[in-house]
């Protein structure tokens, strides 16, 4: 055959994810940890390589790892599901609850994977924009939409290009929000949880850097799922380990749609070794928080620079009158994420907080001289 049938039209419209390997010394574009695993954990990884039965399938539900994760939150292993990165759990969530005729509500500017997972699963994607100054979740409009059911189409500010039918069955609130760094007040999350029986996914991928969590609300709310990842706080972006917390009966549909051996045995074992040495990572989070404040202060002192308040391991910032800030920083040897392409954050870049030396490189490459220079 010299041809192949096209895929579903909604898949044909998608763009494959790919990024070229970085070519500059300072890479602060994907919110990774600036540091590899701590030496004691790396030593343990070497032991694990020798001991692992590579010929055997992994534990399909990662029992030992789930138990260790649950213990960090005072929850049982049955309150945890492990995924091949948080991204996989997002997709599983949309597979289980989404689909044609259903919709998911989120609050842009936000994480691109929400829309992508909706597209892949044929789920309608409904957006209500965050406040254009504070980037807070538009809580009144969200509650109105969730309580108004099908009347949501009339809600001001909602963009319905990919909207599904009826009230959303999933609401995603990212806190701290990627890319703005905005924390959603706990009271607002509680209002969402009370306003609807839709699944409220609170994406806490960066919560270790804010110190705030709503995981303790799981007991109270059957519709709460909290998403977490090892990629950032535990220096494990290369192995793909994420997890979600929720009541066992709430998580049950995710277990039905997930691939049987979604988390490989090596990643399970290494993630467990990370948790056994959690204190080594916690010291790093304190450094990242302190460096975030130092970097924010230094950049804010540069003329024309606006830095959004951030509770995460990145800063979202712009310089008045500079159109291609990311390009300018790249010329200075620093790779950041250009988030200014959409309509929400014109001119902004997202800079991951790196090591002190990397942050110094950002400050040096940033346009304009600081007040004390």
Give the interface with ligand PMP as residue ranges (CB under 6 A): 85-87, 111, 174, 178, 203, 205, 229, 231, 237, 242
Transcribe 13-60 into DSSP letters: T------PPP-SSEE-SS---SS---HHHHHHHHHHHHH--TTSPPPT
Least Å distance, CB 177 to ligand PMP, is 8
Token duo for residue 70: 């649950």
Least Å distance, CB 76 to ligand PMP, is 22
For ligand PMP, the closer of residues 194 and 237 by Cβ is 237
Query: What is the β-pairing status of strands 199-203 and 170-174?
Result: parallel
Query: What is the β-pairing status of strands 334-335 and 337-338?
Result: unpaired
Least Å distance, CB 179 to ligand PMP, is 8
Least Å distance, CB 301 to ligand PMP, is 28
Least Å distance, CB 11 to ligand PMP, is 21
Contact 170, 199 (CB under 8 A): yes
From CA 86, how far away is CA 239, in angstroms rounded?
12
For ligand PMP, the closer of residues 322 and 353 by Cβ is 353
For ligand PMP, the closer of residues 180 and 305 by Cβ is 180
SS3 assignment, position 80: strand
Least Å distance, CB 243 to ligand PMP, is 9
For ligand PMP, the closer of residues 86 and 98 by Cβ is 86
SS3 for 159-208 is EEEECCCCCCCEEEEECCCCCCCCCCCHHHHHHHHHHCCCEEEEECCCHH
Nearest-CB residue for ligand PMP:
85
For ligand PMP, the closer of residues 174 and 183 by Cβ is 174
For ligand PMP, the closer of residues 228 and 247 by Cβ is 228
């Amino acid at each position: 055959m010299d041809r192949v049938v096209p895929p579903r039209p909604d898949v044909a419209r998608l763009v494959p994810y790919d990024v070229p390997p970085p070519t500059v010394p300072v890479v602060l574009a994907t919110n990774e940890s600036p540091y590899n695993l701590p030496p004691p954990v790396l030593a343990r990884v070497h032991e694990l390589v020798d001991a692992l039965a590579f010929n055997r399938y992994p534990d399909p539900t990662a029992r030992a790892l789930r138990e260790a994760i649950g213990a960090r939150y005072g929850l049982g292993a049955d309150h945890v599901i492990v995924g091949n990165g948080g991204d996989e759990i997002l997709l599983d969530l949309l597979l289980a609850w989404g689909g044609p005729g259903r919709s998911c509500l989120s609050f842009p500017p936000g994480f691109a994977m929400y829309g992508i997972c909706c597209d892949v699963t044929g789920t309608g994607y409904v957006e209500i924009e965050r406040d254009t100054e504070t980037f807070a979740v538009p809580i009144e409009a969200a509650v109105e939409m969730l309580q108004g059911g099908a009347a949501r189409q009339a809600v001001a500010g909602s963009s319905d290009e990919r909207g599904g039918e009826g009230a959303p069955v999933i609401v995603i609130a990212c806190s701290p929000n990627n890319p703005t760094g905005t924390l959603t007040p706990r009271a607002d999350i509680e209002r969402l949880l009370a306003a609807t029986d839709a699944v409220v996914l609170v994406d806490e991928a960066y919560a270790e850097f804010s110190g705030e969590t709503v995981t303790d609300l799981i007991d109270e709310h059957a519709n709460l799922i909290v998403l977490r990842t090892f990629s950032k706080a535990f220096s494990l972006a290369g192995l793909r380990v994420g997890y979600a917390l929720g009541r066992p009966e709430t998580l049950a549909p995710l277990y039905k749609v997930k691939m049987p051996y979604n988390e490989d045995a090596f990643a399970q074992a290494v993630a467990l070794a990370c948790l056994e040495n959690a204190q080594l990572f916690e010291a790093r989070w304190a450094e990242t928080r302190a460096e975030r404040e130092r970097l924010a202060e230094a950049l804010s002192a540069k003329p024309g620079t606006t830095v959004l308040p951030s509770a995460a391991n990145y800063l979202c910032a712009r310089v008045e009158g500079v159109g291609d800030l990311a390009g300018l920083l790249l010329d200075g040897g620093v790779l950041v994420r250009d988030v200014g392409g959409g309509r929400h954050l014109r001119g902004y870049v997202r800079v991951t907080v790196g090591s002190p030396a990397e942050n110094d490189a950002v400050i040096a490459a940033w346009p304009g001289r600081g007040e004390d220079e």
